[in-house]
Amino acid sequence: SKVPSVTLNNGVTMPQLGFGVWQVPDDEAATAVSTALEAGYRSIDTAAIYENERGTGRALASSGIPREELFVTTKLWNSEQGHDSALRAFDASLEKLGLDYVDLYLIHWPVPSKDAYVDTYRAFEKIQADGRAKAIGVSNFLPEHLERLIAETSVVPAVNQIELHPQLAQAASREAHARHGIATEAWSPLGQGRGLLEVPAIVAVARKHDRTPAQVVLRWHLQLGNVVIPKSVTPSRIRENIDVFDFELDAEDLAAIAALDEGRRLGPDPAVFDAGA
Ligand code: NAD
């Protein structure tokens, strides 16, 4: 399966579909990431707080895949926000991953109550200028946080990684991203496998195309232009989730899925979430 790329606002290309490793323990991450790389994934999404950067890095190293063909994302945890602490946390992540650069470094949450994301991002700008991150961006930023960041710093984030799935379609954020040339990356693209994949409208579209509900949901994201990072530790599902580039949803399918938007989050509200801070 050939995964298309999106071109970020600084010219870096990123696979439109990657592999997420939240909740995969470090000692299982190497196996899961190796399975994903064998299945054709080249983009891996981890974070310092996932505590599996070492296992992820081991799988990358043992794959034998040239570094320039991989796209590795990691994220700065809330406790490390601030200029100097961000620089130190970045060094620690690189060391654990066993890499000398990452492709994308993200601020994991804005933590508005801490009021440190602007200083944090200035450190990210240095990291990018030094070539140690090919692109920098954010995660869980609301449009108001993006506006402030863009007004007060000089590098427009390449990516905003947000909770996004058919029941939380995030129209306002996607519109803000489009206005600023920020790529939208969907976390929990399958709604964490909690119910979404049994919704009758999704099941009906899946039957129509002789595909699985997960494949239909991933196709919906791709046709919207989202970057997606589905997670699974089950080899057959890891393969199923990347096997989505040989069929297309039609306008009727897309409309049926669009009707599922309830604006309901599975995860925390970025306006108030401050774990670890
Ligand atoms: P997801 O939407 O990818 O769902 C994963 C779950 O769905 C699996 O654990 C499994 O139960 C089920 N599943 C996966 N493939 C399936 C298939 N083919 N058929 C049936 N069920 C299937 O959820 P996620 O892990 O929360 O999100 C994906 C990635 O997004 C994470 O691993 C992580 O990398 C990233 N993420 C980022 C943030 C953030 O704050 N930036 C938050 C959550 C997740």
Catalytic residue among 50, 105, 117, 121: 50
For residue 81, is it within any domain? yes
Q: Indicate whether 202 belongs to any domain.
A: no
Q: Which of 22, 221, 265 to mutate to test the pocket of ligand 1 (most atoms within 8 A of CB)?
A: 22
Is ipTM over 0.90? Answer: yes
Strand-pair partners of 227: 185
Q: Say if ligand 1 is within 6 A of residue 139 CB.
A: yes
Which atom, in ligand 1's list, is nearest to the CA of 139? 41
pLDDT computed for residue 54 by the predictor: 98
How many domains would you assign to the chain?
1
- Alpha-helical (H) ranges within the chain are 26-39, 53-63, 83-97, 117-129, 143-152, 171-180, 200-209, 213-224, 235-242, 251-258
> What token pair was written down for 56?
């992820």
What's the average model confidence in pLDDT over 89-94?
Answer: 98
Percent of the chain exceeding pLDDT 90 equals 99
Q: For residue 36, name the pLDDT band (cuts at 50, 70, 90).
A: very high
**Ligand 1 pocket mutation pick from 192, 196, 215, 241 by most atoms within 8 angstroms of CB:** 192
Examine the pLDDT at 24 and tell me if it is beyond 80. yes
Measured between alpha carbons, how far is 60 from 49 in angstroms, rounded to an integer? 19
Residue 2: pLDDT band (50, 70, 90) is confident
24 found inside a domain? yes
The stretch 194-209 carries a mean pLDDT of 97
pLDDT tens digits, one per residue of 92-148: 999 999 999 999 999 999 999 999 999 999 999 999 999 999 999 999 999 999 999
Residue 133's H or E segment, with its range, is strand 133-139
What pLDDT, on the 0 to 100 scale, is given for residue 1?
Answer: 59
Q: Is the pLDDT of residue 13 over 70?
A: yes
Number of the ligand 1 atom closest to the C-alpha atom of 47: 34
How does DSSP classify residue 12? -
DSSP 45-92: E--GGGT-HHHHHHHHHHH---GGG-EEEEEE-GGG-SHHHHHHHHHH
Does the beta carbon of 193 lie inside 6 Å of ligand 1? yes
Nearest-atom number in ligand 1 for the CA of 189 is 2
255 located within any domain: no
- Is any ligand 1 atom within 6 A of the Cβ of residue 231? yes
Question: What is each CA distance from 259 to 171, 176, 219, in whole angstroms?
Answer: 13, 21, 16
Measure 99 CA to ligand 1 centroid, in angstroms: 25
Structural domain includes residue 230 = yes
Average per-residue pLDDT for the chain: 98
Instruction: Please report whether residue 161 resides in a domain.
Output: yes
212, 231, 234, best to mutate for ligand 1 pocket (most atoms within 8 Å of CB): 231
User: Rounded to the nearest whole angstrom, what is the distance from the C-alpha of residue 194 to the centroid of ligand 1?
Assistant: 10
Residue nearest ligand 1's atom 19 by CA: 214
Residue nearest to atom 14 of ligand 1 (CA): 232
Q: What is the CATH number of the domain that holds 17?
A: 3.20.20.100
How deeply is 223 buried, as exposed, middle or buried, from its count of CB atoms within 10 A (0-12, 13-18, 19+)? middle
Is the pLDDT score of 63 beyond 70?
yes
Whether residue 219 is contained in a domain is answered as no
Nearest residue (by CA) to ligand 1, atom 42, is: 187
Task: Please say if 50 is a catalytic residue.
Answer: yes
pLDDT tens column, 233-255: 999 999 999 999 999 999 999 99
pLDDT (average), residues 25-41: 97
CA 122 to ligand 1 center in whole angstroms = 30
| Structure tokens belonging to residue 21 | 């490793």
For residue 271, what pLDDT is reported?
98
For residue 16, the enclosing domain spans 5-191+224-241
Q: Is 62 part of a structural domain of the chain?
A: yes
